[in-house]
Amino acid sequence: MRHHLILRVITKLLVGTIFLFALYVQFHGDYSPGGGFQAGVIMAVGFIIYGLVFTLKKAKMVFPPWLVHKIVALGVLIYAGTGVYSLLTGYTFLDYSAIDPHAPVHGQHLGILIVEVGVGVTVTGVMVAIYYAFAARAPNLRDQDW
């Protein structure tokens, strides 16, 4: 895709915006539509569009596969870890009041935020990993094929 100047310039502009939007959706999910699932997908779309336009190799330099695989597991661990934490502090599993015993409502806020981060991280990881797996097998398309 060396010749597609417009595509490459536009993509460079877009990728940053997409990441910013993903973070907004992630952390503003309490107040407006959005949350971990959507943010994860949007984040992954950012990496995928980068990989599509600037070849898979460059995308893998930005976000190496070993890191993707770690991240997939990390998200589930964050989520389950929140539950285990509340268990250890004497509450029921996934009861976020444990995070801030003096102000349960505040604890709920924090808990939702942490759990959503876990979800977002896992979804990002899985989507990017799936994209890498598919793209790594695709035969290299020549420019004439487009």
Partner 1 sequence: MLIVTALSVVVTRSLFAIVTLSGVFSLLSALLFVRMHAVDVAFTEAAVGAGISTVLMLGTLALTSRSERSDKKPQIAPLFLVVLTGALLIYGTLDMPDFGAPDTPAQTHVGPDYIERIPKEIDVPNAVTAILASYRGYDTLGETAVVFTAGIGVLLLMSGLARRRKEDEEDEGGSS
Partner 2 sequence: MAEFLTSDFVLGRLNYWFFIFLMMIGLYIVIAKSNLMKKIVGLNIFQTSVFMLYISIGKVSGGTAPIFPMDMKVDPTVTYSNPLPHVLILTAIVVGVATTSLGLALMVRIRENFYTIEEHEIAEQEQEIMLSELGLKKEEDV
Q: What residue ranges bind partner 1 (CB under 8 A)?
A: 25, 29-38, 41-42, 44-45, 48, 52, 69, 72-73, 75-76, 79-80, 83, 93-94, 96, 104-105, 108-109, 111-112, 115-116, 118-119, 122-123, 125-127, 129-139, 141
Burial of 143 from C-beta contacts in 10 A (0-12 / 13-18 / 19+): exposed
Output the smallest distance, CB 29 to partner 2, in A.
11
Give the span between the Cα atoms of 138 and 12, in whole angstroms: 24
Please check whether residue 40 is in contact with residue 123, taking contact to mean a CB–CB distance below 8 angstroms.
Answer: yes
SS3 assignment for 61-111? HHCCHHHHHHHHHHHHHHHHHHHHHHHHCCCCCCCHHHHCCCCHHHHHHHH
* Of 9 and 103, CB closest to partner 2: 103
Number of residues that bind partner 2 (CB under 8 A): 14
135 binds partner 2 (CB under 8 A): no
Binding-site ranges for partner 2 (CB under 8 A): 31-33, 35, 37, 40-41, 123, 126-127, 130, 133-134, 137
